[in-house]
Amino acid sequence: MIVAERKPMAEIIEMVKDCKKVLVLACRGCVTVCSAGGEREAAILASLVRLGLKKEGREVEVIEGSLVRQCDREYIDSIDQWQGQYDAILSTACGVGVNFIANLRQKDMVYPALNTTFFGGSTEQGVWMEQCAGCGDCVLHLTGGLCPVARCAKSLMNGPCGGSVEGRCEINRDVECIWQSIHDRLGAFGRSAQMEVIAPIRDWSTAGHGGPRKTVRKDLTV
Amino acid sequence: MSFDPKITLFSCHYTSQQSCAEGGHELQQLGFPASISMVRVPCTGKVQVTSLLKAFEDGADGVYVVGCPVDGCHNVKGSVRAARRVGAVQKALAELDVESERIAMYHLPRGLQPQFIAAGVEMDQKIRDLGPSPFHKI
């Protein structure tokens, strides 16, 4: 899922300080699962916005709403149900949701309440870890299913680097050396020899270095 | 600055069960501050962040939660969950540049113990020292 976290309140208050009516818009997709921007977090944020603006001596009406997802056109259209009830939308979706609202709602000002951080999963309750960098050229079949692009601090394709100690990364002992884990995992499947295959110099254009990426499935277009 | 604070207490049913005895008169006789309005909950683990924030929105100058001892919660982890939510509100208040001491968590033994009164007196004094809530501007 896409993992995100709330922006500092000072930054959010600065965005909406001149608004009289704000719609805090939750997303029931990834950000609900990572407890950053679902209905519960939107309710907390709405309360904090009211309190923050009250403290500044400003009167504001804050309402809450939510969409199934903010990354699909048909759901964005349903923002019409709150028409006239807001000067600006404070979206608790990831950056995709904010962009979709900006793309499709020419007359609506939209602000991001979250910092979108990474693609990851929950490793224990209340903890999320990055697992995938969305680089567009997956090598997981060569690395035992563990991603060196997202999980090696240097994104090495031919690791380990030599700086790891006892399976921990040299940048921080709290971080596992993913290349050590790749080695151990390949070994468990009798595929250690895979480690000796040199990965060629990589074309990073699929990783966003070639401009915004786009997927077209002609079999699905109408 | 002297003022009459408005304080909201969310108290666990087990911690505050004797506080209702004699229609609450016993509490008053023991010196429990009149500034405190108590909301009894089945378990402090039931208290959400939004409930704590709403108390401030409704005009509280201070808010506190009284739950079971950390290792003796009737519902195992309810009071620990409450403490974490209080911590989340403390952090949010600090982000709004408001004194995080305006909200507090107490883990107290069950029943009407002297500590229950003492916590109320402490909270009352703390909020009097801090002054009115900065959220009262309008």
Residues B3-48 have pLDDT tens digits of: 899 999 999 888 776 666 656 677 888 899 999 999 999 999 999 9
Q: pLDDT over 90 for what percent of chain A?
A: 97
Domain co-membership, A159 together with A104: no
In this structure, are A47 and A154 located in the same domain? no
- Give B-chain residues touching A8 at CB under 8 angstroms: 95
State how far the alpha carbon of A160 is from the alpha carbons of A66, A140, B20, in Å. 45, 16, 66
Res B138: pLDDT: 66
Report pLDDT for B26: 79
Distance from CA of A22 to the nearest CA of B (A): 17
Which range, of A53-67, A72-86, B16-30, averages the lowest pLDDT?
A: B16-30
Residue of B nearest to A13 (CA): B96
pLDDT number for residue B136:
86
Read off φ and ψ for residue A82, nearest 5 degrees.
-105, 15
Asked if the structure places residue A219 within a domain, the reply is no
Q: Which of A9, A50, A56 sits opposite B57 (nearest CB)?
A: A50
| Residues of chain A neighbouring B56 (CB-CB closer than 8 A) | 51
Residues A18 and A63 in one domain: yes
**Residues A87 and A56 placed together within one structural domain of the fold:** yes
Residue B1's pLDDT is 56
Provide Rg for chain B, Cα atoms.
14
CA nearest to B50 within chain A: A44
B31: which residues sit within 8 A by CB, 6+ positions away?
Answer: B117, B121
In this prediction the ipTM stands at: 0.93
Whether residue A124 is contained in a domain is answered as no
Total domains in chain A come to 2
Does any domain span residue A222? Answer: no
Residue A208's pLDDT is 86
Q: What is the mean pLDDT of residues A34-52?
A: 98
**A40 to chain B: which residues are within 8 Å by CB?**
48, 50
Q: Where is average pLDDT lowest: A39-48, A95-104, A119-128, B65-74? A: B65-74
Contact check, Cβ <8 Å, B138/A54:
yes
Q: Which of A77, A71, A114, A70 is nearest to A92 (CA)?
A: A114
User: B7-133 adopts what CATH topology?
Assistant: Rossmann fold (3.40.50)
CATH number for A66: 3.40.50
pLDDT for position B23: 63
* Contact check, Cβ <8 Å, A47/B137: no
Q: Which of A72, A91, A118 is the last residue of a domain?
A: A118
